[in-house]
Structure 1
Amino acid sequence: MMRNILVVPGLAILLSACINLAPDYVRPAAPVPAVWSQSSKQGTVQDGADAIAWHRFFMDPRLREVIELTLANNRDLRVAVLNIERARGQYQIQDAARYPALGAAADSSVRRMPASQGASDDAAIARSQSVQLGFNAYELDFFGRLKNLSAAALATYQFNVETRRSIQISLVAEVASAWLTLAADNERLLLARDTLKSLQISYDLSQRSHAIGATSGLDLSTAQASVEAAQVDLGDFSSRVQRDLNALNLLAGAGVPMHLLPDAIPQASAALLATPAELSSELLLGRPDVLAAEQTLMAANADIGAARAAFFPSITLTAAGGAASSSLAGLFKPGSGAWSFLPSINIPIFNAGRNRASLDVAKVNKEIEIANYEKAIQIAFREVADALAERATLDQRLGAQQRLVEASDKSYRLSEARYRSGIDSYLNSLVAERSWYGARQNLITLRLLEQNNRINLYKAMGGGWSSS
């Protein structure tokens, strides 16, 4: 008899999940052009961005160490990993509902029946011992309700996996950008310090010249104003450097060692991705954020199946088998076998439209997730398109800015020489100096922009996940 009872769960599993009422999942078409029309010069890296490990993409060894430190200590990434573990547990809980939960129970009871309620004039003592193995309220999943709930939970788990990948990609790009920003501001700080030193020397000379009547009061005041302006810049960039360092430490989740901090922007901290003339937008479908949006859509699709199944009858089974006896000694003797089988059916008749409303909500949720999925693709397309558009003119802008710096430097030196010779006023020399200073500051900004563009293009194409 015990074997017959244990066969019931297996038969129930075979009979369940005969029908799946969820709509067939069809991936929505990408609402973007098939290719990008803009492209940049061929770079040095020929593989797809998602196939390039970040430690191959980033060339500066100090930056690679900072990224490793960040991946080990960043709290957002740690929370993302824990979210995966939680989603895995929730999926296992939901999926377990598809199978019978077997359990064993042993009962022992003693009851005294008073003489007034018994068949004889004496009080009676009733004893009962039982041991049973069975399952309770197992639902036969004829219409796929439990299967679809499990599929939705699995999609939620996959969503968290993709979200973790997306967070790492963004984090790698963000910490690299923060490291380069610190490098740029350190370079600006050094330039401001050197400029202040030079202006202070000129101001001291102007003071001595003014004392002997060789320099006007206007020139002296102008020189002093230049020194004060340089002092303001020095304080501003000093503050920026400290804020940059604070931001980098926060991203890293720990204090970044001083030997890993940059003093200036490296010539090439990151590789330049190759971008052929025809770049397919299908590359976007492999981005983790797009895959995460698709997993949410798949979960919403499965929820429709679960909502449809609520319109149909549900059948649950409770069964147990074992042995029962009035004494412990006779519990396992021949003839002590006992079993129970309690099937039940629940037929929805009237629930004030709750099932219909639940189905409508599930359908609307799917439409919302379709829109979110399409928007994720559009955002990804724009990020790549923006990076390519910026890339197309960066080399030209950098070359022009470098030539502007050289020309401004020459103009400043000539103006300074003319002022020293008494040919020009100090004002002309000051204007040339400010133009040279501004040109050098703008060159630092453009170099930072160029390095960040490499990183942004790498990130937009889904790079930064793999480290091997």
Structure 2
Amino acid sequence: MSDTVIPLLKRFATISALTLLTACASLAPEERVEARIPAQWVAPLPHQGSIIALSEWWEDQGDPVLVELIRTAQEVSPTVSSALARVEALRAQQTAAEAKLLPSLNAQTGLRRGIALPGSALATRSDAGLQAAWELDWLGANRQALRAAGGRVEGSAAQWHEARVSVAAEVAQLYYSLRSCRRQAELLRQDAESRAQTARLLELSARAGWSASAEAATAQASAAQSRSRLTQQLAQCDIQIKGLVALTGLEESALRARLPADPGGETPTAPFAIASLPAQLVSQRPDVYAAEREVVWAAAQVGSAQAARLPRLSLDGSITAVRLANGGGSQDFTLWTLGPLALDLPIFDAGQRRAAVDSARSAYRDAVVAYRARVRQAVREVEEALVNLRASDERLNDTQLASLGYSRALAATSARHAQGMASLLELEDARRSAVAARTEVESLVLAQRLYWISLYRAAGGGFTPGQPGADASTRADSPR
């Protein structure tokens, strides 16, 4: 009978193992999910952009003050620090998950003295040994846990990069806004001086009886209004300096000393080219990559929860060197064991493991939806930045022509007013139009630069999936 039973048991064991291995292979859902991405951009791409590494874009602006402020802000940013701490914590969890795939080995030693058996002599026993334990991951439960930990580490490294990019963009936006604010304040200062001079001359003329007192009063009111606008503009510049102080952690006096005393004219933005295929650009976004890694983590969590419902196999072993000493002498010998080879088979847990699987599947579906939404948002942000850039390019040319025309009109009206051929109201109207046009040009130049920064962020800020992520040694890297 044994000749019949033993082959049947072997066949049953083989079929059971194959069934379990097949179940193991399908524990986790699909890690790579499809997201609908347009085949090409709808908005026109910047035609003047050059192919440069976005991670070096700030250096290409030719402003060392900006580069230093960005680096300083990234070093003190709580957002960047939190992202880095998360990377380090998740790497520790990954190490712990990887350790579960390997055997554990512990050393033990002991010293005992007493009577082991009735009637025996008093004896001293000393021993030293090694104990090993290994969970045989035959169904892949620990491998799924390691896969989940790896996905979280990769995603957190991408979020660290995103935090650095966000800080860099925020500093640059404030820095360029401050420079623009100072240039606009200089325009208002020149306008205020011009109006004060006009008011002074008309006051003298009214006292001499050559001009109407109402005209002199209008000039005084115009000069006061111009001074008020200048004061408001200077206050706005101070507020932006306060913002840079908060971002960089520098003393305000030290920050003011670093800023150029003369804002001068704004240097053109160094443009860059972006990938012509949306799918290529979207894959370089750290937030999209992090969302994709979150799907990997969620899929592995489903696999890990499924594996918890299957049998677990473990093997223990030990070897111990023993010395037994009594009044009659001593004896040395070695003890060793191999086993037990234990099989842990879940039978009844009132639905706890099943509930864990359902919870993991729900989290997986949520991660897939979030990933696809993040892809759509990435495409939207790039499209919006491209539209804004194109519109600002077209508007800037027309606005510069308008400013030139209003400046010429102001010069002509000033000459006519000096000859008594134009009223003060005409002069003030021409001056307001000229100042407004120059202010609009400055605002558009700033807006265009901010749109480039938005496109820089939307294009991923130089993130490259698969490269080593956030490490403590990268804190002092070039700003991104």
Quickly name the TM-score band, shorter chain normalised.
0.7 to 0.9
Q: 2:57 aligns with which of 54, 57, 65?
A: 54
| Matched pairs, number | 441
Residue pair 1:172, 1:464 contacting (<8 A) in 2 also: no
Residue pair 2:101, 2:143 contacting (<8 A) in 1 also: yes
Cα distance, 1:448 vs structure 2: 0.5
Q: Which residue of 1 aligns with 2:238?
A: 242
- Flag the 1:330–1:404 CA change in 2: closer, same or farther, 3 A: farther
Q: Which residue of 1 aligns with 2:97?
A: 94
Provide the rounded CA distance (Å) in 2 between the counterparts of 1:376 and 1:228: 51
Provide the rounded CA distance (Å) in 2 between the counterparts of 1:364 and 1:262: 58
Residue pair 1:66, 1:260 contacting (<8 A) in 2 also: no
Cα distance, 1:367 vs structure 2: 1.0
Deviations 1:270-313 (A, max 9, x none): 3112368x544332112111111111110001001001011112
TM-score scaled by length of structure 1: 0.85
Give secondary structure in 2 for the equivalent of 1:78: helix
Residue pair 1:158, 1:292 contacting (<8 A) in 2 also: yes
Provide the rounded CA distance (Å) in 2 between the counterparts of 1:312 and 1:71: 47
Q: 1:289 aligns with which of 287, 290, 305?
A: 287
Q: Which residue of 2 aligns with 1:427?
A: 425
1:268 aligns with 2:267: yes
Deviations 1:14-53 (A, max 9, x none): x9x9644443534222323121022144214135x55x62
Q: Which residue of 2 aligns with 1:129?
A: 126
Amino acid at match of 2:125: S
Q: Which residue of 1 aligns with 2:453?
A: 455
Q: Which residue of 1 aligns with 2:140?
A: 144
- Counting only pairs closer than 5 Å after superposition, residues 3-14 of structure 1 correspond to structure 2 as none
Amino acid at match of 1:42: H
- Flag the 1:269–1:70 CA change in 2: closer, same or farther, 3 A: farther
Cα distance, 1:153 vs structure 2: 1.0
- Flag the 1:220–1:124 CA change in 2: closer, same or farther, 3 A: farther
Give secondary structure in 2 for the equivalent of 1:326: strand
Residue pair 1:330, 1:336 contacting (<8 A) in 2 also: no
Q: Which residue of 2 aligns with 1:29?
A: 34
Amino acid at match of 1:391: L
Cα distance, 1:105 vs structure 2: 0.1
Provide the rounded CA distance (Å) in 1 between the counterparts of 2:58 and 2:224: 44
- Flag the 1:99–1:38 CA change in 2: closer, same or farther, 3 A: same
- Percent identity reads 25
1:188 aligns with 2:184: yes
Q: List runs of 5+ in structure 2 lacking aligned partners.
A: 1-16, 464-476
Provide the rounded CA distance (Å) in 2 between the counterparts of 1:397 and 1:129: 90
Give secondary structure in 1 for the equivalent of 2:386: helix
Residue pair 1:268, 1:451 contacting (<8 A) in 2 also: no
Residue pair 1:32, 1:377 contacting (<8 A) in 2 also: yes
Q: Which residue of 1 aligns with 2:70?
A: 67
1:224 aligns with 2:220: yes
Provide the rounded CA distance (Å) in 1 between the counterparts of 2:29 and 2:353: 21
- Flag the 1:202–1:68 CA change in 2: closer, same or farther, 3 A: same
Q: Which residue of 1 aligns with 2:444?
A: 446
Provide the rounded CA distance (Å) in 1 between the counterparts of 2:142 and 2:31: 21
Provide the rounded CA distance (Å) in 2 between the counterparts of 1:428 and 1:402: 22
Deviations 1:322-348 (A, max 9, x none): 1234339846x3x43343633433322
Q: Which residue of 2 aligns with 1:410?
A: 408
TM-score scaled by length of structure 2: 0.83
Q: Which residue of 2 aligns with 1:176?
A: 172
Residue pair 1:110, 1:126 contacting (<8 A) in 2 also: yes
Provide the rounded CA distance (Å) in 1 between the counterparts of 2:65 and 2:349: 65
Give secondary structure in 2 for the equivalent of 1:35: coil
Q: Which residue of 2 aligns with 1:10?
A: none
Cα distance, 1:370 vs structure 2: 0.9
Amino acid at match of 2:347: I
Amino acid at match of 1:141: D
Residue pair 1:39, 1:275 contacting (<8 A) in 2 also: no
1:299 aligns with 2:297: yes
- Flag the 1:349–1:215 CA change in 2: closer, same or farther, 3 A: farther
Q: Which residue of 2 aligns with 1:254?
A: 250
- Flag the 1:353–1:169 CA change in 2: closer, same or farther, 3 A: same
Give secondary structure in 2 for the equivalent of 1:53: helix
- Flag the 1:228–1:219 CA change in 2: closer, same or farther, 3 A: same
Q: 1:83 aligns with which of 67, 83, 86?
A: 86
- Flag the 1:340–1:29 CA change in 2: closer, same or farther, 3 A: closer
Cα distance, 1:71 vs structure 2: 4.2
Provide the rounded CA distance (Å) in 1 between the counterparts of 2:338 and 2:64: 71
Q: Which residue of 1 aligns with 2:44?
A: 39
Give secondary structure in 1 for the equivalent of 2:174: helix
Residue pair 1:301, 1:366 contacting (<8 A) in 2 also: yes
- Flag the 1:147–1:281 CA change in 2: closer, same or farther, 3 A: closer
Provide the rounded CA distance (Å) in 2 between the counterparts of 1:450 and 1:461: 16
Q: List runs of 5+ in structure 1 lacking aligned partners.
A: 1-14
Provide the rounded CA distance (Å) in 2 between the counterparts of 1:347 and 1:356: 15
Q: Which residue of 1 aligns with 2:199?
A: 203
- Flag the 1:217–1:357 CA change in 2: closer, same or farther, 3 A: farther
Bigger shift: residues 453-462 or 304-313:
453-462
Cα-Cα RMSD: 2.9
Bigger shift: residues 403-412 or 437-446:
403-412
Cα distance, 1:186 vs structure 2: 0.8
